[in-house]
Amino acid sequence: MNLAERVKQILLSPDTEWRVIAREPADPVFLLTNYVAYLATIPAVAGFVGMSVFGVAVAPVGALRVPVLSGLLAALFLYAVTFVMVYAIALVIDALAPTFAGEKNLGNALKLAVYSYTPFWLAGIFLLIPGLRFLLILGFYGLYLLYTGLPVLMRARPEKAFTYSAVVVACTVALELIIRSIWAALFALPGLM
């Protein structure tokens, strides 16, 4: 798998690319070290630079810069937690499959979780410049990727894919809120990344 080509194809031709992905072996180590490890660096590095170099706009104070060591530790924490998050979402996708007339397959669930996160990681580049953080919304294209991938990888009936993806997203948001709370408590930083 060529990383740049996979990113391009999953973003531009998801229907075709999900079928290609479905035929590939589900090697968790390969997915985590050759895809997640690279793409998850984008929001971690951009968030660190944005918070520690450029600062974060805080009204009425102005720009608040996070100390470099605190920012680095926070970025490393979020980078490491990304792997846990992707795997946890894969477990959720797999566990919910029978509920939505799909087939349990943890390997395919992991592929679905990994590749659906692609737009979120790419949109992480906007963490670099505080004024562009609103463009993180572009990462929500990952929700569409999840929706289109569920019938292909988890064999969910197409008419149940919307509800299936909505439940997965709700679980993801809950996990994300827990992780962000831990992050904020550990580093005494506002949940800005």
Q: How far apart are CA 51 and CA 146, in angstroms?
A: 30
Query: How would you class 169 by CB atoms within 10 Å of its CB: exposed for 0-12, middle for 13-18, buried for 19 or more?
Result: middle
127-175 tens-digit pLDDT: 988 778 889 899 999 999 999 999 999 999 999 999 999 999 999 999 9
pLDDT score of 191 more than 80: no
Closest alpha carbon to 172 in 115, 99, 100, 87: 87
Global confidence as pTM: 0.88
C-alpha span between 7 and 116 (Å, rounded) = 10
| Tens-place pLDDT, residues 37-94 | 999 999 999 999 988 888 776 667 667 788 888 889 889 998 999 999 999 999 999 9
CA 148 to chain centre: 16
Helix spans in 97-140 (H): 106-116, 118-123
